[in-house]
Amino acid sequence: MAKQIIFYWDFTSPYAYIGANTIEAVARKHNRSVDWRPVSIGHLWKAIPDRTPFPKVKMDYMEHDWTRSAKLAGLPIVTTPNPFPTDAKLPRLLFYRLKEQNPTKAVTFAKAAFKQYWGEGKDIAAPEHLKAVVHVAGVPEAEIAKAAEDAAARQAVIDSTAEAIEAKAFGTPTFIVDDEMFWGSDRIDHIDRWLSQKK
């Protein structure tokens, strides 16, 4: 059986939003599945020993670029959600809690949360922000409070972030395909071509 495509991501990344809505089609084309592993991007960045200040000119370009990229992918996009970045701790915990119960519902939840934050500009940090999202995924609202106290989900975030750091990931989305790393939603086409060449 072919290896899964490992997908490291965070809700605060607009490029992860694009990747979340495009990677599965490529995976299906090559008879692969996707292992969704949200990470804490803040902790990932802190682990980079030689990181440099982020220049404003690059940020200005990226805001333009991620808006254009989402539109080209046919996705709704709010250039800068409020707040940006948000504290995505609770939705990450909820994802891992749901993944343990039902991976398909977890992915449905993740896509709905991405859409609420990046597609509609509505925050996802607090329990009240997630109520509409869990309804889309067919998840009881009670799971939100349970996720906040879920030690296994918290450990899953820690473990996945550590794994991403070990893989030398420096941002999201990062994809690991048969031990090959691809960074960015714009590299999903490269994943497609790379897998085609391996056949």
Q: Is the pLDDT of residue 52 over 80?
A: no
Q: Is the pLDDT of residue 1 over 70?
A: no
Question: Average pLDDT in the 167-171 region?
Answer: 93
Give the closest residue to 5 by CA, choosing from 27, 37, 28, 31.
Answer: 27
DSSP string, 168-189: T--SSSEEEETTEEEESGGGHH
Distance of CA 37 to the CA centre of its chain: 8
Fold classification of 5-198 is Glutaredoxin (3.40.30)
Return d(Cα 45, Cα 17) in angstroms, integer: 19
CA angle 55, 42, 95 (to 5 degrees): 135
The pLDDT score that the predictor gives to residue 53 is: 73
pLDDT tens digits for range 102-119: 999 999 999 999 999 999
Is 40 one of the catalytic residues? no
pLDDT tens digits for range 115-133: 999 999 999 999 999 999 9
Return d(Cα 126, Cα 130) in angstroms, integer: 7
The pLDDT-based confidence of 150 (bands split at 50, 70, 90) is very high
